[in-house]
Structure 1
């Protein structure tokens, strides 16, 4: 079971993740195509606050997912945040990317079936 939320990331976590500069931006975002939609999965690394100036590795990841129709400039949904069970972080980038894409596939399938 995945937890999906449309709430925004806290500014403090966002600034902290930008300041760390450990994870490459190229590794943190993927775009997939599924049934005529473009699915963008952007990973948000989360660090444990240590109070140290020494950079550390993230303790986990959250997947932020956006879905856009083919050729449409605006996303169809607000970015959704995907975490593991009970709002736990994903332990690896690969797990977060796959979970984000899987959540988008389910959302697209459910939306297309309800028409």
Structure 2
């Protein structure tokens, strides 16, 4: 899943990567959580701002829900943009 947001002249993309359970009983189990991969680009012209950042929850754990992963990814991008200064 990937969601794109606009914030202060930047385009923020939050892509979720599913983390699946590992078991000898099955090949692919249900997702046990998500890692948020955040990319920031300028909107016009479209240029990347730094490298994509992979985020996990506190304690180096995956996010339990899609909503938590998306919200954390967007909030992290907003902090980066606010620290760098909007165009």
> TM-score normalized by structure 2?
0.89
Describe the SS at the equivalent of 2:77.
helix
1:45 aligns with 2:18: yes
What is the CA–CA distance in structure 2 between the aligned matches of 1:67 and 1:91, rounded to whole Å? 24
Unaligned runs of 5+ in 1: 1-27
Moved over 6 A (4+): none
**Residue equivalent to 1:90:** 63
Unaligned runs of 5+ in 2: none
What is the CA–CA distance in structure 2 between the aligned matches of 1:49 and 1:74, rounded to whole Å? 38
CA RMSD of aligned residues (A): 1.5
Higher helix share: 1
* 1:73 CA drift (Å): 3.5
**Residue equivalent to 1:69:** 42
Higher strand share: 2
**Corresponding pairs, count:** 86
* 1:54 CA drift (Å): 5.4
What is the CA–CA distance in structure 1 between the aligned matches of 2:26 and 2:46, rounded to whole Å? 40
